[in-house]
Amino acid sequence: MKSYLAAAIQMTSKPDLDKNLTEAEVLIELAVRQGAELVGLPENFAFLGKEEDKLALAKTIAQKTEKFLKTMAQRFQITILGGGFPIPVEGNENKAYNTALLVDCNGKELARYQKIHLFDVNLPDGNTYRESSTVMAGKELPPIYFSQNLGNIGISICYDVRFPEIYRHLSHKGAEVIFIPAAFTAYTGKDHWQILLQARAIENTCYVIAPAQTGNHYERRYTNGHATIVDPWGIILADAGEQPGVAIAEIDPDRLQQIRQQMPSLQHRVLLEGGGTLR
């Protein structure tokens, strides 16, 4: 693993696929011009609209988005994560997988993750979310892509951040950098977003790269913003604030190794994967 710059992109995606992809390209180029070699796009970057509209367009969104990610990776010679977009479920026209896709600079797919925790919540601000109404939960734990240059990269999506066992699994499997792309609600994000990201970084001594959605997308759908990069000590290295833009920071293997030596908590785990069995 070498030292390099990573970027967490922040968008205000709308129910307009082509416009969103155009804006994503502008922000990717901005990140690359600042030296980023690893770039993450937020959840729903290609389309953020009503669930029924997303489902109706899922096939088109999936095809255009996969092509877009591979084109961007090759054009800018970067590794890129598309942080969450719908891919239709074969044999079930009423559901799609919320899918994150990691692509290398040759346009090759490196890893794919289907979100397993679905956001079904009634919030005190009056908004109700039923992701499971149109999304099929994934069946597989998040993957890790092992890279000599970029480090071992783990993938998750948004609501996963509230389930620390996911990140314990990733760190146990060797993750050094973890993506948490999100479309975090404004109501919950103001209190929980930063704290959760720092907690996941600290407890797993990993870098966390968290691309985000921000602002108003349609009707009463507002997101928190603050695309963030956190170091393994929990220090916020970059925060995109509340406007569309890019958070960029260095991923430093020496810093990672130093923190893991000073605070070797991963070596002190007592509980094994999968339950309460002592070593």
Q: Which of 23, 37, 70, 158 is catalytic?
A: 158
Tokens 């070699």 identify what position?
A: 37
- Closest C-alpha to 156, from 223, 237, 228, 99: 99
Longest dimension (CA), the chain: 53
Catalytic (active site) residue 273 = no
- Closest C-alpha to 200, from 270, 122, 142, 258: 142
Quote the CA–CA distance of 179 and 156 in Å, as a whole number: 6
Q: 14 is written with which tokens?
A: 């709308």
Strands (DSSP E) contained in the chain are 4-11, 36-41, 79-89, 92-103, 109-114, 120-122, 128-130, 144-145, 153-155, 177-179, 207-210, 212-218, 221-224, 228-230, 236-239, 245-251
Quote the CA–CA distance of 151 and 146 in Å, as a whole number: 6
Bridge partner list, 245: 10
Q: Which of 54, 66, 115, 206 is catalytic?
A: 115
DSSP-derived letter for residue 266 is: G
Catalytic (active site) residue 158 = yes
Bridge partner list, 120: 130
Q: 33 is written with which tokens?
A: 């011009």
Catalytic (active site) residue 2 = no
Q: Which of 43, 54, 70, 176 is catalytic?
A: 43
Q: Which residues contact 83 (CB under 8 A, 6 or more apart)?
A: 40, 41, 42, 43, 45, 100, 157, 179, 181, 182, 211
Name the residues annotated as catalytic. Answer: 43, 115, 158
